[in-house]
Amino acid sequence: MAITRIAGAALNQTPLDWQGNLRHIKQAIKMAKEAEVKLLCLPELCITGYGCEDLFLSKWLPEKVLSFLPEIASWCKDIDVVVGLPIAFGDYLYNCACMISDGAIQGFYAKQFMALDGVHYEPRWFRPWPSGKKETIEINGETYPLGDVTFQLREWHVGFEICEDAWHENERPACRLLGTDVNLILNPSASHFALSKSAFRESLVSNSSRKFGCTYLYANLLGNESGRMIFDGEILISQKGSILARNERLSFKEVNLVYADVDTEQKLPSQSPFQYDTHDEVEEFTLATTLALYDYCRKSRSKGFILSLSGGADSSACAVLVAETVKRGLSEVGRAAFLEKTGMTQLHDEMQGLSEAAAGRLVMKHWLTTAYQGTVNSSEDTYLSAKELADNLGATFYHWKIDEEVASYTAKIEKSIGRKLTWEQDDITLQNIQARARSPIIWMLANLNNALLLTTSNRSEGDVGYATMDGDTSGSIGPIAGIDKYFLLQWLRYAQKELGYTGLQRVNSLTPSAELRPPGETQTDEKDLMPYAMLVAIERLAIRDHLSPVQVYHALRENHPELSPKVLKDYITKFFRLWSRNQWKRERLAPSFHLDDFNVDPRTWARFPILSGGFSEELKALDNA
């Protein structure tokens, strides 16, 4: 029986950050050597970063990557290392894994299946390698195997699957390795985060090791690499159906290594010390979004965040997510490193001797600046809600009125058209000008602070256009645009109760409202739209599952007997009409994080024509359903 220590490392890479990416690769190799690891698997495309987009179409990019290979190989004395990179061969570019053993390049496995679902567009840049095909490639005067290849390394016969390869159950490369003497399959990946996705991945890895009678090692990228997608940095090592090792997902550490001692002859009994990840979706959302905010801020070289804090659910959630980012960052990477990476080293001396809570409040004062921008239609409840939350978090808080600006814009229009605007005749106009009037001044704060302005629209608002373009949609990044309002309301209660944000008490007691109509009208979001639970149910069927209005009706009718057919049809009709009318808004929303199994950002998931027939025929059919 031969026991060997193998490892995977998650790396937080950035497209074109050559020195940063190489530093993380070198650090991972160094950590593995210090842990006496014999074989290390690094993630997919970890030299370039996964999210280079159309830069992969250039000729210089893969050439530059090859220039780094000799240096990387020199770091691999006395260890076997797999590193992900693009390789140009013939007229095409291939997504490859380079096998390096004891400082010498052994060859390149090429990915056979390209991801083209949801947020992925790999076939735009990469050619899938034909199954079973083997070629040779010359690099710096040396010839290496390329393609559907395996490698014999002492006790290991190594095969590969790269990310998407493993998701094709009956065609995956591992199927052709079954019955051979391959005893280790490596899977360097760039698998994006989505709520509850990890459980499926864990099952895939453990079942693969059982089905193919091998050791299976999976290593994913980590962090918000290039703006929208988040990688959870999961590493899994499995043998004979048992997970032997895994790491903590969604870590703030730039290099995260985990190893296991495994039997190369596959004779150890199937006993696993592994504890499955028990994070539910509200916990996952917290971990993923805070990591994404941390990376987005530091990688964009911004000096924190600016937020128009209305006292409502959406902006309050954004504020708490920033606070939780600070809490996690100080804890996971340490005070000195967090201050350095976020550009706040001037706080170092002031932070000495402070308690954990006091240190967090000091950072929040500089990292999050908020403003309550009230009008005559704003309530005392939302003002107090905003102020109490900002005070609770330690954020800088400003308060001003925008009635003067609204009145100025309104007066100019009234003079031009020769009449007064009224709520009876000009409802939407009078609502929208309030939201838009808030935008220029909050942008001034962002410019002054060199900070990111957070937009506060959620996915449910994106569905139906319940947001004012150039008003509450103004901003640099939308941290909650990938999540629905119903989920967000649940998360706020969790954040108050489980995360200890007591400043949310007033927020969680309020009924969500835009507060743009006169107070006597008791405006609420659900009165303007429909119950959030129903909006989410329709959204998932119509947008995620691509069902027609009639199909959505039949799918919901059985589960909602409390609704009359007319009310249900009215909700469905309203959703489809608003969805089709508001694609132009979704095209202009700020970048947002991909968090769920789908989103409504047309640049990453839900493509829809700006101009269309608006489901007119389909909604006529709904009337007769």
Query: Is residue 520 scored above 80 in pLDDT?
Result: no
pLDDT at 266: 75
273: pLDDT confidence band, cut at 50, 70 and 90?
Answer: low
pLDDT tens digits for 568-592? 999 999 999 999 999 999 999 999 9
Q: What is the CATH number of domain 283-511?
A: 3.40.50.620
Query: Is residue 270 scored above 70 in pLDDT?
Result: no
Give the residue extent of every domain in the chain: 3-275, 283-511, 530-625
Q: Please name the residue that has the structure tokens 């004012």.
A: 468
What is the distance between the alpha carbons of residues 205 and 410, in angstroms, rounded to a whole number? 61
pLDDT tens digits for 60-77? 999 999 999 999 999 999
DSSP string, 55-91: GGGSSHHHHHHHHHHHHHHHTTTTSEEEEEEEEEETT
What is the distance between the alpha carbons of residues 534 and 404, in angstroms, rounded to a whole number? 38
pLDDT at 251: 97
Of all residues in the chain, the percent with pLDDT exceeding 70 is 97
97: pLDDT confidence band, cut at 50, 70 and 90?
Answer: very high
- Report which of residues 199 and 2 the model is more confident about: 199
Mean pLDDT along residues 152-174: 95
Q: How many CB atoms lie within 10 A of CB 26?
A: 15
- As to burial, measured by CB atoms within 10 angstroms (0-12 exposed, 13-18 middle, 19+ buried), residue 176 is middle
pLDDT tens digits for 157-166? 999 999 999 9
Q: What is the CATH number of domain 3-275?
A: 3.60.110.10
126: pLDDT confidence band, cut at 50, 70 and 90?
Answer: very high
pLDDT at 276: 58
pLDDT at 370: 98
Cβ contacts of 182 within 8 Å, gap of 6 or more: 150, 157, 158, 159, 212, 214
How confident is the prediction for the chain on average, in pLDDT?
A: 94
13: pLDDT confidence band, cut at 50, 70 and 90?
Answer: very high
pLDDT tens digits for 464-487? 999 999 998 999 999 999 999 999
pLDDT at 179: 86
What crossing angle do the helices spanning 616-623 and 549-557 adopt, rounded to 10°?
40
Q: Are 225 and 298 in contact (CB under 8 A)?
A: no
